[in-house]
Chain A
């Protein structure tokens, strides 16, 4: 659900740093990592440094994946370990909670190399897939009314609303822009008179960044900037999934970048309560394989704890400043999830003292409840009960260029990933 890459800080100038990512350098906002120093590795997400990483561990990983031959031998070794650990186990269902894992798994073709008794199912960790139609409609309506310019991440452009998506709205004269970072939306608001509304989607990874943007807007008294908040929280959704007596989940591959913020402790209670082992994983194919090995080992031993495969970025308590930023700016409220219904304490709303930045209040927008499209089985897919191929519309009426349901929209949606990166026959 959340892209992130390690970058090495080469320069710091107040709140802005220059991070080297492989062969390139890119500006990063350092508001959420006040402790960062030149030479540190930081996790970069949407133009913000989210956390200072374990530098030695990052360097070691970069080294492992440096050459093709080395990568291959590391992966082969992992596959061998995985096969060994899986031997003799009854069939297990593991859920990769995070959509970015779904894409990494699909792109690398991991599934084709798993033993027959290990199945991976895609979970609800794709913001595009779980954002309710009514909330998209609010953004579309606002953009069409031309009372404000609606700005968001590229992911949101094609999410179908009940009649139009943002891209189609733009085709009809609505003001819609894509940015890579909310920092760019702030800059637009600072530069122009125009009203700027940022459509804020995403989970705990993105929420602190939006919090930082709102705090910046408050400090600068930017009256023409506001946020349409559609954030969701992962642990309450997992709780809802696991509490379903029909759930057939034997283990969870937990999202590495959400966990970078909330820490692996967030899954402790869930693992124990539902007796389901959890492993927080990074995003290299080798990371994912290793996390599967960790889950299988726990399943073998009959344990239900939390393993942390992604220790180069994830700590027990996560990132203090990022969590604080969320806490300071947002309240936790109940939230609707596409396919999963209303989940208690699973969404964020701006606190009263930031209410002037709440676009829903400012423009008096209200989310209507919109029924799911007929025949779409996203709900079952997001909760791991069905696979995309079980949907009769899959690949026929529902295609990435003409999505029926939300799981086909984002490239990390379970249906889209299954379609675009399908395993080759023969």
Chain B
């Protein structure tokens, strides 16, 4: 019983796990935030508002990353892409962004400028405009890096109808490119591991996701971007939301060799590594090949892959099953806590 008491004591404080992609984070939001903000609704990656026409999507996210600059990206790009990607996987075309920056007193201005420039470049790349913003500075010592917050509004693509409730047996699961590069790039930089070959996958997915939804309309059932907690966590979220059984084929999951090598060295499982420029889409089975073909033709979509399928819905025990490279089958679960370099 001592352990239970210990567990409760730990609950009195914010821990890092509350901000990770796992179940603890989900529970934390459900318990502490959802009741206060009914406007958060189903808490998909973006809220869908329907004032007129096809409606608009609205989302917000805050960003911290250590280090601020890493191979293939920086916090500025993350802050833009994170939000536009949340809009895109909801079936919206991102249009407007807000930007809030919280900076510590004493931060060199050139760092601040570089980050803001990067925000601007990323926004231009995606075709969104930052239409409102705010900067706050906190006392020296109160913060070591930078905090960025962006909110985004997008216009729903006509015909888009994305909802986990529409997932059915026979649907195919698609991932838009090799997974895990972002987290490895950040870890490599943070721990000076010198894996210079590995660039973060940090990118906007609005073009690819827009192409998919624009062409296939409601044959696209559901999309999400696998950020913290990685692919395995998104698949579990999907299984739970759709009460589905999902079968994934390990061999079909795209992973760059360098990312796999780095994960082996650090003792990390690539299926749980964060991506910042990928999305997972569930597409009606008969349209899967077409989806694949269309995405592969697009820049950034060359390595799209069908990694599995939905084998059943309305299950009391939603489950993600992984058919291993070894010809065996096991359960694939949620991330329990952020992965750290291990020796064992």
Q: Which A residues fall within an 8 A CB radius of B?
A: 1-3, 5, 21-27, 44-46, 68, 71-72, 75-76, 99-100, 106-110, 112-113, 126-128, 153-155, 157-158, 160, 162-164, 167-168, 170-172, 178-180, 184, 201-202, 205-206, 285, 373-374, 397, 399-402, 404, 410-412, 416, 419-424
Q: Is A400 in contact with B198, judged by CB distance below 8 angstroms?
A: no
Task: Looking at the assembled complex, report how far the CB atom of B265 sits from the nearest CB atom of chain A, in whole angstroms.
Answer: 5
Q: Is B191 in contact with A21, judged by CB distance below 8 angstroms?
A: no
Q: Is B333 in contact with A412, judged by CB distance below 8 angstroms?
A: no
Closest 7 CB pairs of A and B: A154-B340, A109-B328, A400-B336, A22-B261, A23-B258, A180-B341, A108-B326
Distance, CA A68 to CA B327, complexed state (A) = 11
Q: Is A155 in contact with B343, judged by CB distance below 8 angstroms?
A: yes
Distance, CA A154 to CA B1, complexed state (A) = 27
Q: Which residues B115-148 have CB closer than 8 A to chain A?
A: none
Known: A21-B261, A107-B330. 5 other contacts (CB 8 A): A22-B258, A75-B326, A76-B327, A155-B343, A172-B13
Q: Is B344 in contact with A202, judged by CB distance below 8 angstroms?
A: yes
Question: Across the two chains, which residue of chain A brings its CB closest to B23?
Answer: A401
Distance, CA A167 to CA B193, complexed state (A) = 23
Q: Is B13 in contact with A126, judged by CB distance below 8 angstroms?
A: no
Q: Is A180 in contact with B193, judged by CB distance below 8 angstroms?
A: yes
Question: Across the two chains, which residue of chain A brings its CB closest to B27?
Answer: A401
Question: Across the two chains, which residue of chain B brings its CB closest to A289?
Answer: B326
Residues of A within 8 A of B261 (CB): 5, 21-24
Q: Is A420 in contact with B266, judged by CB distance below 8 angstroms?
A: no
Q: Kindly supply a per-residue 1/0 record for chain B positions 1-35, scoring 1 wherever the CB is within 8 Å of any chain A CB and 0 otherwise.
A: 11110110110011111000011100000000000
Task: Looking at the assembled complex, report how far the CB atom of B278 sits from the nearest CB atom of chain A, in whole angstroms.
Answer: 19
Residues of A within 8 A of B343 (CB): 2-3, 45-46, 127, 153, 155, 201-202, 205-206
Known contacts A3-B344, A401-B24, A423-B329: A21-B265 contact under CB 8 Å: yes
Question: Across the two chains, which residue of chain A brings its CB closest to B198?
Answer: A24
Residues of A within 8 A of B228 (CB): none
Question: Across the two chains, which residue of chain B brings its CB closest to A111?
Answer: B328
Q: Kindly supply a per-residue 1/0 record for chain B positions 255-292, scoring 1 wherever the CB is within 8 Å of any chain A CB and 0 otherwise.
A: 01110111011110100000000000000000000000
Q: Is A1 in contact with B344, judged by CB distance below 8 angstroms?
A: yes
Residues of B within 8 A of A45 (CB): 343
The number of residues on chain B lying at the interface, defined by a beta carbon within 8 Å of a beta carbon of chain A, is 56
Count A/B pairs, Cβ under 8 Å. Answer: 173
Q: Is B52 on the interface with A (CB-CB < 8 A)?
A: no
Residues of B within 8 A of A127 (CB): 343-344
Residues of A within 8 A of B342 (CB): 3, 153-155, 410-411
Distance, CA A411 to CA B258, complexed state (A) = 23
Distance, CA A180 to CA B22, complexed state (A) = 23
Cβ contact of B16, chosen from A106, A112, A171, A184, cutoff 8 A: A171
Known contacts A106-B330, A107-B269: A163-B9 contact under CB 8 Å: yes
Distance, CA A400 to CA B229, complexed state (A) = 14
Q: Is A25 in contact with B194, judged by CB distance below 8 angstroms?
A: yes
Distance, CA A24 to CA B257, complexed state (A) = 9
Task: Looking at the assembled complex, report how far the CB atom of A72 sits from the nearest CB atom of chain B, in whole angstroms.
Answer: 6
Distance, CA A404 to CA B6, complexed state (A) = 10
Distance, CA A167 to CA B17, complexed state (A) = 9
Cβ contact of A424, chosen from B4, B194, B251, B331, cutoff 8 A: B331
Interchain Cβ contacts under 8 Å between A and B, 26 examples: A1-B344, A2-B344, A5-B264, A21-B261, A22-B260, A26-B193, A72-B325, A75-B326, A76-B327, A108-B324, A108-B328, A109-B328, A112-B328, A127-B344, A153-B343, A154-B340, A154-B341, A158-B337, A167-B16, A171-B16, A179-B191, A206-B343, A373-B3, A400-B336, A410-B342, A423-B330
Residues of B within 8 A of A402 (CB): 7, 24
Distance, CA A201 to CA B10, complexed state (A) = 25
Residues of B within 8 A of A206 (CB): 343
Residues of B within 8 A of A422 (CB): 330-331, 333
Q: Is B340 in contact with A178, judged by CB distance below 8 angstroms?
A: yes
Residues of A within 8 A of B13 (CB): 168, 171-172
Task: Looking at the assembled complex, report how far the CB atom of B324 sits from the nearest CB atom of chain A, in whole angstroms.
Answer: 5
Q: Which residues B276-317 have CB closer than 8 A to chain A?
A: none
Q: Is A421 in contact with B330, judged by CB distance below 8 angstroms?
A: yes
Residues of B within 8 A of A399 (CB): 336
Task: Looking at the assembled complex, report how far the CB atom of B243 sits from the nearest CB atom of chain A, in whole angstroms.
Answer: 16
Instruction: Give the interface centre of B193, B257, B337, B344 by most chain A CB atoms within 10 Å.
Output: B344
Residues of B within 8 A of A202 (CB): 343-344
Task: Looking at the assembled complex, report how far the CB atom of A165 sits from the nearest CB atom of chain B, in whole angstroms.
Answer: 9
Task: Looking at the assembled complex, report how far the CB atom of B9 sits from the nearest CB atom of chain A, in whole angstroms.
Answer: 7
Residues of A within 8 A of B251 (CB): 68
Q: Is A420 in contact with B256, judged by CB distance below 8 angstroms?
A: no
Residues of B within 8 A of A26 (CB): 193-195, 265
Instruction: Give the interface centre of B22, B191, B340 by most chain A CB atoms within 10 Å.
Output: B340
Instruction: Give the interface centre of A127, A128, A401 by most chain B CB atoms within 10 Å.
Output: A401
Residues of A within 8 A of B3 (CB): 160, 373-374, 404
Q: Is B319 on the interface with A (CB-CB < 8 A)?
A: yes
Distance, CA A157 to CA B6, complexed state (A) = 16
Cβ contact of B258, chosen from A24, A68, A172, A416, cutoff 8 A: A24
Cβ contact of B6, chosen from A99, A106, A160, A421, cutoff 8 A: A160
Question: Across the two chains, which residue of chain A brings its CB closest to B343?
Answer: A153
Question: Across the two chains, which residue of chain A brings its CB closest to B20?
Answer: A401
Distance, CA A52 to CA B336, complexed state (A) = 36
Question: Across the two chains, which residue of chain B brings its CB closest to A68?
Answer: B251
Distance, CA A5 to CA B6, complexed state (A) = 38
Question: Across the two chains, which residue of chain B brings its CB closest to A7?
Answer: B265
Distance, CA A306 to CA B270, complexed state (A) = 35
Q: Is B339 on the interface with A (CB-CB < 8 A)?
A: yes
Q: Is A420 in contact with B344, judged by CB distance below 8 angstroms?
A: no
Instruction: Give the interface centre of B22, B196, B333 by most chain A CB atoms within 10 Å.
Output: B333
Cβ contact of B10, chosen from A24, A154, A168, A285, cutoff 8 A: A168
Task: Looking at the assembled complex, report how far the CB atom of B327 sits from the nearest CB atom of chain A, in whole angstroms.
Answer: 6
